[in-house]
Amino acid sequence: MIRQDVDLSRANTLGLPCRAERFLATDDIATTRDALRQAVKRDWPLTVLGGGSNLVLQPWLPGLALQPSFADLRFEEVGEGDVLVHAGAGLNWHALVEALAAKELWGIENLSLIPGHVGAAPIQNIGAYGVELADVLERVYLLHLEDGREAVFDREECGFGYRDSVFKHALENRVVITRLVLRVSTRAQPRLDYGDLAARLPAKPSASDVVAAVSAVRREKLPDPTVLGNAGSFFKNPVVANEQAKALLAKHADMPHFPLADGGVKLAAGWLIDQCGLKGLRERHVGIHERQALVLVHHGGGSAGELLALAQRVVDKVQARFGVTLEREPRLMGRKAR
């Protein structure tokens, strides 16, 4: 049943105040399609919410906020050690990672402790510790918001890039994801060449060992959103041309940098922000985390406006010092007022 005037302050990991004009959590296709038909017929703006972990909510969300709660999970053996995992969009992502690791299924263990729901994973092409969702995704099942028709996208159709996909561009606010199909393996294939993961693990780690190690690293570096409101990494790591990277390295020899196959160079946004002396900064209700400059936090009692003003200050400081433009990672939803 569609509810009216719903408080969403606990539906986003930043804990920002927001009220939805209408809200519906749906766990079946028929109910979802019916809600979409109502929205189109009554000209309601539609917003699709996941676990609320990668967005900035403004105070008012007009129309209908739809939260997919599909929680189905099944496994399909396809030979040569490969297994297709069919996972509903409403499943908790980290719970899925743990479930696969417990079965010694390899492929997403490096993506542990990433907050949010399964359905949001392809939108951002989530990635961590040398692995991206694109490495394992086979198909995405979705419904078009305009008419409820179902479509199935394969990996290529998703247009994956670094923290990017077609769902942030041509299909932004046009579809609701209902299910993912991931290809994982029973064959051990740990990816431990990122950071100090290998040093934290035995010579032949289990998938659960890797999950535990990655989770420990993340807990050391990132605040728990249930304790301190945050949306994880607030800025993408910027990619610059090789020539610009060389010029920056001539001035900052210790600048972390990662050459890419296309000739560009990825820089560490957290390092750039830290060099501007912003780590640990607090402005009233919002601030920059004391251990990770890439994470903006909400101490409570603040608003999206305060957070976005702080984010713009960070962007301006980094641009002024390094000539590099940072791009916000979380999506912005809603309006400033009713």
- Residues serving a catalytic function are 163, 233, 329
Tell me what the mean pLDDT of segment 147-176 comes to: 96
Which domains, from first to last, does the chain contain?
3-68 (3.30.43.10), 73-221 (3.30.465.10), 229-333 (3.90.78.10)
The per-residue pLDDT for 314 is: 98
CA distance 294 to 282: 14
CA distance 239 to 101: 32
Helix, strand, coil percentages in the chain from 3-state DSSP, rounded to 5: 30, 30, 40
Tell me what the mean pLDDT of segment 261-282 comes to: 96
pLDDT digits (tens, 9 = 90+) for 65-118: 999 999 999 999 998 999 999 999 999 999 999 999 999 999 999 999 999 999
Q: Which two tokens stand for residue 288?
A: 């920059």
Output the pTM of the full model.
0.89
CA distance 289 to 220: 12
pLDDT digits (tens, 9 = 90+) for 219-249: 998 999 999 999 999 999 999 999 999 999 9
pLDDT digits (tens, 9 = 90+) for 108-131: 999 999 999 999 999 999 999 999
E-assigned strand segments in 55-210: 55-57, 60-61, 64-68, 73-79, 82-88, 127-128, 131-132, 137-144, 150-154, 175-185
Q: Which two tokens stand for residue 179?
A: 């299910």
Asked whether residue 193 carries a pLDDT value surpassing 90, the answer given is: no
Grade residue 195 by pLDDT with cuts at 50, 70 and 90: confident
The per-residue pLDDT for 162 is: 87
Cα–Cα distances in Å, from 141 out to 4, 51, 78, 122, 127? Answer: 28, 18, 19, 11, 20
The per-residue pLDDT for 194 is: 80
Q: Which of the 8 DSSP states describes residue 71?
A: -
Grade residue 337 by pLDDT with cuts at 50, 70 and 90: confident
Q: If phi over 0 gives left and psi between -120 and 50 gives alpha, with beta otherwise, what is residue 220?
A: alpha
Grade residue 192 by pLDDT with cuts at 50, 70 and 90: very high
β-pairing, 229-233 vs 286-288, is: unpaired
CA distance 286 to 289: 9
Query: What value does the mean pLDDT of the chain take?
Result: 96
pLDDT digits (tens, 9 = 90+) for 160-174: 998 899 999 999 999
The per-residue pLDDT for 210 is: 98
The per-residue pLDDT for 34 is: 96
Do the Cβ atoms of 22 and 4 come closer than 8 Å?
yes
> 84 burial class (0-12, 13-18, 19+ CB within 10 angstroms)?
middle
Nearest one of 49, 51, 119 to 86, comparing CA atoms: 119
Nearest one of 282, 158, 292, 172 to 231, comparing CA atoms: 292
Asked whether residue 338 carries a pLDDT value surpassing 90, the answer given is: no
Q: In what order do the strands lie in the sheet with 257-259?
A: 239-240, 265-267, 257-259
Grade residue 154 by pLDDT with cuts at 50, 70 and 90: very high
Would you tell me the crossing angle of helices 93-102 and 207-221 to the nearest 10 degrees? 150
pLDDT digits (tens, 9 = 90+) for 13-63: 999 999 999 999 999 999 999 999 999 999 999 999 999 999 999 999 999
The per-residue pLDDT for 302 is: 97
Q: In what order do the strands lie in the sheet with 175-185?
A: 73-79, 82-88, 175-185, 137-144, 150-154
Asked whether residue 280 carries a pLDDT value surpassing 90, the answer given is: yes
The per-residue pLDDT for 177 is: 98
- Per the DSSP assignment, residues forming a β-bridge with 48 are 66
CA distance 180 to 118: 8
Tell me what the mean pLDDT of segment 300-316 comes to: 98
Please tell me whether residue 50 adopts helix, strand or coil conformation: coil
